[in-house]
Structures are given as structure tokens and as C-alpha cells.
């Protein structure tokens, strides 16, 4: 008797069955899918650095110098000079005291929150924070509280109701991965000054491309010593890995208590080499950030004018809300036949009734390509409504 068949059938019936695809080449601006060359609208490579020749060469050089892998955890012989060099380079950009590498953003969030909770007390988390934070919170023995998305009044009421059990820790993404909206950082800093909690910022989707989002927090963190910032190398920097920057004692505590760091083989040398090069290229080629902002602004304005349901996006992540899972699948398939790769995002990743196409924009795209995309989305939305009997 197969214990999984019924569950898989149920997902299939709900239009929520996921599967893994293998791409014949490196996904970049374009991706080959089922023999069709498509504009890639699902990539997190926001600055177009994954295929940058300097970044690729740095990865190859690091592998040739240090080997294919680190050979073990950093506490048991897997630490290499390139790991320390990368941490020091990040610490220049995030001068909060010290930086620690993790293998992924999920591992950084999960390990850090589990290790910080026993020290800092009650955790308060934005309701729409990434799954990595949600999973960490569920595994904690103590209480945690979710405040309504970006709702500072609700957070304030929770802080008032749960004072006394340590300073507390407030967690938020800076740029939310599914809606593309931005956390109220200034308001959070005002609350921190009043209540004295620690602030944990996940800037996975803004790292490298929206540095201004954490600028106020950096200034406050240097002064207060109560801010931690997690970022990744696997999105705008085009590679693999993550980091956490914060006060020296807090980072030293994570070295001793974050299980996802302690019990993992260290970041491969090639990944560290690529990340180092990407940091430098992103700073030297600031036009990439500027171009991304221009393309994203054009897309948001055009899509809104076309009447697409976008939600509160303020960034290069532009979700086109389809509503039902079936509608999102129909529109995604129609776009594929027109030469666009835009997989549907469905519950439980997003709330019920808000299945969508998450349009991820990159600096390699042109405004003319966005114009053509808008035409295809309009047609796909109309066709989907007709097929559903709504048009």
C-alpha cells in the first residue's frame, strides 16, 4: 500500500502538485524549457551576475586554489582563508561588528533564531515573513507572536502585552519575497528606541540591489548594538551562500549555538570566491542597480495602468494576482506558449485565493520587453477569464 499516493492525488486535484525540472543550460535572462527559449521571469539573479565573466572566473580560481569542497565544518577543520576574507568584505558593507557565513538563507534564519530565542526572550515576527523564519519559530519551545503584516500598531500592542521576558526580538524581511513590498524600517527603529528589543532584518531579496533599505538600520545598529542583518549571495549576487552580520558577542554566540552552522560543511570555496567577486562587481557597476530600478518602475506603472491586480509591490518583485490556482496555471501556460517562463505561485506559499505569477525583474531586461510582456499578460488574463466563464 502506497501511503503517499492519496496525498499526491489530492495535490493534483487542487492544481498544487509541484515537480522539479532540469534545464539544459544555465538559466539567465533566457531559459530553455521544453525546447522553447523563454524570457526568464522567475530568476532571483536581479543584477545579472551569475553569468558575469569576472564572477565565474573567481569561482574557478577559488576551486583550483582550495579544492571543490571545504572538507568539513569550520569548527572542525573546514575553515579556509577565503571564508574569513568574504566575512571581512561583507563586514565592510554591513559594519555592525562581525559577520558569519551560512550555507543558505534558510539555514541562517533557522539556526540564528533558534539560537537567539533562549537569550533574547520573546520573538515577534511579521506574519508574512519567509518560511525559514516560520519554521524556526515553530520549533521553539517558548512563545512567539506574529504581528499583522507591516502593522506597527499591532506590534506595539504585542510589545506592551509581553514585556519583562528579556529584551525580545522583532523579525522582518526588508523586501517581502511574495508581494514585493517593503518593511517600515523607520517605524521599527522608533519602536526599538522605545522598547529596547533587538531587530532582525532579512534582506535576502534586497541584498545588493536595494542597499538604501537598511541604511537607517545600519546607523542605528552601530549606535545601539542591537541589530542583526541577514543577507544572501544566491540572489542579486548570483551565487550561493548567506551571511549574518551583527554585534561581535551575538555572532560569537551563534558560532557556539547555531546548529545549522555548527553541523554543516563549510561553504564551498568556489561559492565563496564567486561571492567575493560579485560584491566587488556590484559596487563597481552601480548601473546594474539603477537599471533594475528603472525597469521595475516601468513594469509597475504599466501593469497598474493595464488594470492588473498587483498588490502592494514597491520593488523588482511584481506579483500579478490571478486568484484561483487554476487561473494561475492557465495564465502561466499561456505565457509559456508565448515565450515566457513564469511559474505559478500557489498556496500554501501564498494565502488562499491569491495564486499569482511572481514576475521577477532583472537589470538585463529592457522596457520594450516589459511592454511586450504586458500585452501577453493582458491576453492571458482575458483568455483565462473566458475559460472560467467569468468573461
DSSP assignment of 102-153 equals ES-HHHHHHHHHHHHHHHH--EEEETT--HHHHHHHHT-SS-EEEEPTT-HH
Annotation says 314 is catalytic: no
Q: Is 235 a catalytic residue?
A: yes
What mean pLDDT is predicted for residues 360-364? Answer: 98
- pTM score, whole prediction: 0.93
**Is 181 a residue of the active site?**
no
> What is 286-387's CATH topology?
3.90.1150
Can you give the pLDDT at residue 269?
A: 98
Given 110, 130, 298, 316, the catalytic residue: 130
Domain range list for the chain = 53-284, 286-387
Specify the residue for cell string 543577507: 231
Mean pLDDT of the chain: 93
Backbone angles phi, psi at 130, to 5 degrees: -60, 155
Where does the pLDDT of residue 391 fall: very low under 50, low under 70, confident under 90, or very high at 90 and above? very low
Q: Is 130 an annotated catalytic residue?
A: yes
Provide the strand spans (E) within 194-241. 198-202, 227-232
Whether 98 is catalytic: no
Q: Which three cell numbers stand for residue 149?
A: 503584516
Going by C-alpha positions, the residue among 246, 187, 249, 243 that lies closest to residue 221 is: 246
Are the beta carbons of 101 and 242 closer than 8 angstroms? Answer: yes
* The one catalytic residue among 126, 179, 181, 202: 202
Contact 294, 287 (CB under 8 A): no
| Ramachandran angles phi, psi of 230, nearest 5° | -105, 135
How many Å apart are CA 232 and CA 201, to the nearest integer? 12
19 is catalytic: no
Q: Which fold has domain 53-284?
A: 3.40.640
Q: For the segment 114-165, what is each residue's pLDDT rounded down to a tens digit?
A: 999 999 999 999 999 999 999 999 988 877 999 999 999 999 999 999 987 7
Question: Which of the residues 56, 83, 98, 235 is marked catalytic?
Answer: 235
Active site residue 367: no
Instruction: Give, in order, the Cα–Cα distances in Å from 162 to each of 144, 155, 157, 367.
Output: 10, 11, 9, 49
| Tens digit of each residue's pLDDT (9 = 90 or more) over 339-351 | 999 999 999 889 9
Amino acid at each position: 500500500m502506497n501511503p503517499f499516493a492519496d496525498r499526491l492525488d489530492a495535490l493534483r486535484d487542487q492544481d498544487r502538485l509541484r515537480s522539479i525540472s532540469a534545464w539544459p543550460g544555465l538559466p539567465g535572462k533566457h531559459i530553455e524549457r521544453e525546447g522553447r527559449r523563454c524570457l526568464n521571469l522567475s530568476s532571483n539573479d536581479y543584477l545579472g551576475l551569475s553569468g558575469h565573466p569576472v564572477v565565474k572566473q573567481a569561482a574557478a580560481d577559488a576551486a583550483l586554489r582550495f579544492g571543490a569542497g571545504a572538507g568539513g565544518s569550520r569548527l572542525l577543520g573546514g575553515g579556509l582563508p577565503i571564508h574569513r576574507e568574504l566575512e571581512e568584505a561583507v563586514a565592510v558593507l554591513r559594519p555592525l561588528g562581525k559577520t558569519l557565513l551560512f550555507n543558505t538563507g534558510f539555514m541562517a534564519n533557522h539556526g540564528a533564531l533558534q539560537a537567539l530565542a533562549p537569550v533574547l526572550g520573546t520573538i515577534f515576527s511579521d506574519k508574512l515573513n519567509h518560511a525559514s523564519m516560520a519554521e524556526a519559530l515553530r520549533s521553539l519551545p517558548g512563545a512567539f507572536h506574529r504581528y499583522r503584516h507591516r502593522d506597527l500598531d499591532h506590534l506595539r500592542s504585542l510589545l506592551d502585552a509581553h514585556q519583562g521576558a528579556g529584551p525580545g526580538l522583532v523579525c522582518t524581511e526588508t523586501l517581502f519575497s511574495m508581494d514585493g513590498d517593503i518593511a517600515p524600517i523607520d517605524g521599527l527603529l522608533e519602536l526599538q528606541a522605545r522598547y529596547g528589543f533587538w531587530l532582525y532584518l532579512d534582506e535576502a531579496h534586497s541584498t545588493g540591489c536595494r542597499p538604501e533599505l537598511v541604511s537607517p538600520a545600519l546607523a542605528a545598529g552601530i549606535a545601539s548594538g542591537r541589530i542583526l542583518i541577514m543577507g544572501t549571495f544566491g540572489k542579486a549576487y548570483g551565487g550561493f551562500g548567506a551571511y549574518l552580520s551583527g554585534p561581535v558577542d551575538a555572532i560569537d554566540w551563534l558560532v557556539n549555538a547555531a546548529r545549522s552552522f555548527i553541523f554543516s560543511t563549510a561553504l564551498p570555496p568556489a561559492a565563496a570566491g564567486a561571492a567575493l567577486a560579485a560584491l566587488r562587481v556590484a559596487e563597481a557597476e552601480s548601473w546594474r542597480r539603477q537599471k533594475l530600478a528603472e525597469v521595475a518602475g516601468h513594469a509597475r506603472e504599466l501593469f497598474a495602468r493595464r488594470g492588473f491586480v498587483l498588490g502592494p509591490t514597491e520593488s523588482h518583485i511584481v506579483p500579478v494576482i490571478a486568484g484561483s490556482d487554476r487561473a494561475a496555471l492557465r495564465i502561466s501556460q499561456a505565457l509559456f506558449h508565448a515565450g515566457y517562463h513564469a511559474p505559478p505561485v500557489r498556496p500554501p506559499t501564498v494565502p488562499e485565493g491569491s495564486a499569482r505569477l511572481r514576475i521577477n525583474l532583472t537589470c538585463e531586461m529592457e522596457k520594450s520587453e516589459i511592454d511586450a510582456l504586458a500585452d501577453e499578460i493582458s491576453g492571458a488574463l482575458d483568455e483565462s477569464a473566458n475559460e472560467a466563464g467569468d468573461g
